[in-house]
Structure 1
Amino acid sequence: MSAAKTKAQGIIDENAVAVFSKSYCPHCRASKTLLSELGAKFYVIEMDQVDDGADLQNALEEINGQRSVPNIYIAQKHVGGNSELQGKKAELPGLLKEAGAV
């Protein structure tokens, strides 16, 4: 397994909510805002601000088939991107509580 894939999987495994993001991305911002509004504790890695960001993005595509950001996990399950997260608004409080993120 590549170092980036190991790192990405570690972030997913060790955090109730993991958001792979880019700091300038409006969709990422919308996802982080929604999670914050719900009081979620979440881990964010801004892939445009780390040296291995491109490698992490490639690794995520290998792991879940999604290359775009945000790339969101709750309780180690791939949620998808901002559209999918926003679409789960009604069930998010329960999902976050189950994951131990609130």
Structure 2
Amino acid sequence: MEKIKRLSSENGVVIFTKSSCCICYSVNVLFQELGVSPKIHEIDHDPEGKRIEKALTKMGCSAPIPAVYISGMFIGSTNEVMSLHLSGSLIKLLRPYLSPVNN
């Protein structure tokens, strides 16, 4: 879907979420604690939200939300993000987007 591609390429770190999703909130907090301010796109507040959710599933997101993009590249949902974090690889991907204090 064009909107997903556009948002993920215009912003360094993008998380597609739903406002009522506690797991989405947790992933956002993780990024904040790592020193990154991701662009949060709440699909439940988007008129095209249902289409975005279907497109994310078709693009390989095991759980359609949260869907994390870094540098325009689809990273995955919660499981993939946490695996990257635990292995130390997530911070390497986020390095260009870290606040100066955390870099």
The bucket for the TM-score relative to the shorter chain is 0.7 to 0.9
User: 8 Å contact 2:5–2:72 — kept in the other structure?
Assistant: no
Dislocated runs of 4+, deviation >3 Å: none
Tell me which amino acid in the other structure corresponds to 2:43: M
The answer to whether the aligner puts 1:40 opposite 2:40 as a matched pair is: no
What CA distance in whole angstroms lies between the structure 2 residues aligned with 1:70 and 1:57?
10
Instruction: Specify every segment of 5 or more residues in structure 2 that has no aligned partner in the other structure, as ranges.
Output: 99-103
Tell me which amino acid in the other structure corresponds to 1:65: G
1:1-102 matches, cutoff 5 A: 5-62=1-58, 64-66=59-61, 68-89=64-85, 90-97=88-95, 100-102=96-98
Structure 1 partner of 2:101: none
Tell me which amino acid in the other structure corresponds to 1:49: H
1:12-65 Cα distance to aligned partner (Å, 9 max, x none): 111111100011112111110100000112111001112111111122233x22
Tell me the TM-score normalized by structure 2.
0.83
Tell me the TM-score normalized by structure 1.
0.84
Report the secondary structure of 2:45's partner residue: coil
Tell me which amino acid in the other structure corresponds to 1:9: K
Q: How many residues align?
A: 95
Instruction: Specify every segment of 5 or more residues in structure 1 that has no aligned partner in the other structure, as ranges.
Output: none
